[in-house]
Chains A and B, each alone.
Chain A
Amino acid sequence: MLIAQLALNALALGSAYALVAIGFVLVLNATTAVNFAHGESVVAGGFAAVALAMFLPPDLGIPGLILLPGVLVVTAVLGLAIGALAYLPIRNRPPVSVFVTTIAVGIIIANSLNAGFGAAPQTAPALIGVGSFEFLGARLSRQSLAIIVTAIVLIGGLAFVLQRTQLGRQFRACSQDPEMARALGIRLTRITMLAFALGTALAGAAGLLLAHQFFISPSDGGSLILKAYIAVVIGGWGSLRGAAAGAMLIAIFEIGVAAISSQPVAEGLLYIVVLLVLFVRPQGLFGEPQQVRA
């Protein structure tokens, strides 16, 4: 029962982290640069839910699920703004320039949320209400179930778009060889901005899911981007499947390993795993070896 409980908690936390990490990879693939404002995009999604919830009648107990489309739209627009401000003007410069501009935008987002909502942690409405039920001999809260199902639906939908649609093929073409994609008539800027919108919307969804279960505050972005980064390093730089697997591994360490050791030890062991992956399999668990074009 204990193991089942820990496994369910890890699955729920890992699902939310997976949304964060996959959104991060989408932008990474489209730009080959790291979007360090991604953590703040998660936080912005949480606060968008908090703000939208203010328009709901508090006594009716309307589930947060109806907020999800609104949060996706708000954060998609935020993603477009991040792309337009922090990437497009300097896209021809070295990737390190984008590090700096996205860090700057992230700080602006965090400080704006701090000014607008205050520094206190906030909680968003539960996606499908509160309460829990028995599952495999363990207690599964409705919010945990909602996190898992929402992550499966959103990630599954994204995988379908990327694998089965013309848009997805354009995405993949741009990420594999941008110059060739441009030569073939694919509008690179449009695809890049779509990646920012989609990736940030996924981050926003994660923010909504995390905000009820674990609260959200304007300063949370730093730790969230770190988790996304580690997930991608473990799973494979640019691999969506790897990002999801890396996110699950982080959750297993935070919950499973922490339960049999301690939280600081679990964190230390996680970083040892990151180092081992970098030493033994630098391309990550699901990544392909880097090749240099002739």
Chain B
Amino acid sequence: MSSLLRRFPAIHVTTLFLILSATSAQAEPLRIPILVPITGFLSLEGTSQQNGAELALAGADVAFSVTDTATSPEIAINAFERAVDAADVVSVIAPMLGTQMLALIPLADEFGIPLVTVSGTAKITELGSPNVFRFFPGDVVVKAAQARYAVEELGATRPAIISQTTAYGQSGRAELDANLKQLGASPVFQEALDVSVKDMLPVLLKVRESGADTLLLHLHSGPTALVIRYARALGLDIPIIAGSAMHQPETAALLEPAELKGVCAETGSSPVSEAREDVRTFVDAYRRSFDREPDAFALGQYDGAKMVLSAIAAGAQTTDEVRTHLQTARYEGLAMTYKSDGKGNMAHSAVIICYDGADRVPDVVKRYENLTGAL
């Protein structure tokens, strides 16, 4: 044998390569790439998504890397193709930007890789893909909670809606409109705004002229704060129930506590408002790790990544096994209980938070559990 090896040195190399490959295959951890929009107009929410995923995966026996998908579907597709090129990818933390998700879903189906996301765009779970798992209540859930709170708790009969012109805005506006009509409170005014609009006086004057008794918002962070500031300056003293962007501590930080008085918002959860011990532990760890306040996107993505880890802990080693676990298991997360409705909608509960005008930390005033009946 030794003479054979001396005569054919290439055998040495081949043997060494095979040994190293085998060793490497044994030691290689499973991979969960994180693809999130950390630059561009959704970077605030995308950074929360990234932080939540990183906090969940840190210390676990999995490998992960973060790739910025910015705001275009092309960048997301390139990032996905590079990420899944590596061996042992069992799941991908997928961007919350709806247009990117819509572009990634056919690829995920082609490669058979589960996408774990907090995107709120309704359509991503309406395409029949078995690989989409959404850990943030979609518009079907949160807009139902927002409309019900306005009508059932505040007695709104003449609501007005201001939304964004983006896919996110259109999706939420349609759900809000449908829910309000179903509750017998058809909107008396609706308008969509581009994200770059700065002066909110024109739209708020029209809200006032419409005689609206409640204002429902479905806007990104900056526009949400601008509308509230302008409404207060204009003396428009009708209740404002904002979308999920309002619950983000960064949005509240743009406004004075007095401007926030009486403002409410829908969201999947509000980590900074919760007194539960396990949520407080999450909040403290998040603050230590990232020097900022956690929001519902961070907590939803944290729960989603933790459920993938629970699948691996239960023995799942392949994409098929992880997918099956996500499709069938029930998971008690920090924000809520998660279970797929058969379409990949894992989150079915929402909360309403309100600010009392004394500080920027909201209180949870209403919980809407299991709005879809999937649990």
A residues near B (Cβ < 8 Å) are 2, 5-6, 9-10, 13, 110-111, 114, 118-123, 132, 139, 141, 210, 213-215, 217-220, 223, 251, 254-256, 258-259, 262-264, 267
Contact = CB atoms under 8 A, between A and B. Distances in A.
A259 B196 contact: no
B39 A263 contact: no
B39 A6 contact: no
Residue from A111, A121, A213, A256 whose CB has the most chain B CB atoms within 10 Å: A121
23 contacts: A6-B201, A6-B205, A13-B199, A118-B44, A118-B292, A120-B248, A120-B250, A121-B44, A121-B225, A213-B198, A214-B198, A214-B199, A215-B222, A217-B41, A217-B43, A219-B39, A223-B196, A254-B198, A254-B199, A256-B202, A262-B191, A263-B193, A263-B202
A10 B254 CA distance: 23
Nearest to A213: B198
B38 interface: yes
Contacts of A13: 198-199
B165 to A, nearest CB: 6
Contacts of A111: 39
B201 A255 contact: yes
A9 to B, nearest CB: 5
A121 B41 CA distance: 10
B165 A264 contact: yes
A9 B202 CA distance: 10
Contacts of B253: 120
A213 B254 CA distance: 11
A264 B194 contact: yes
Nearest to B249: A120
B226 interface: yes
Given A217-B44, A217-B222, 5 more contacts: A5-B201, A120-B251, A219-B39, A251-B199, A263-B197
Residue from B43, B203, B225, B250 whose CB has the most chain A CB atoms within 10 Å: B43
B210 to A, nearest CB: 13
Contacts of A6: 201-202, 205
A139 B205 CA distance: 14
B254 A215 contact: yes
Contacts of A132: 233
Contacts of B225: 121, 215
B43 A218 contact: yes
Interface residues of B, number: 34
B44 A120 contact: yes
Contacts of B196: 220, 223
B125 interface: no
B191 A263 contact: yes
Contact of A9 (B43, B194, B199): B199
B191 A119 contact: no
Interface in B288-307: 292
Contacts of A9: 199, 201
Interface of B: 38-41, 43-44, 46-47, 165, 191-199, 201-203, 205-206, 221-222, 225-226, 233, 248, 250-251, 253-254, 292
Contact of A259 (B43, B47, B202): B202
Contacts of B47: 118-119
Contacts of B202: 6, 254-256, 258-259, 263
Residue from A122, A220, A223, A258 whose CB has the most chain B CB atoms within 10 Å: A258
Contacts of A122: 254
A9 B39 CA distance: 31
B1 to A, nearest CB: 57
Nearest to B197: A263
Contacts of B206: 259
Nearest to A262: B191
A5 B43 CA distance: 34
B254 A254 contact: no
A132 B254 CA distance: 19
A132 B235 CA distance: 13
A119 B248 CA distance: 12
Residue from A9, A111, A120, A256 whose CB has the most chain B CB atoms within 10 Å: A120
A177 B370 CA distance: 72
Given A9-B201, A132-B233, A214 B43 contact: no
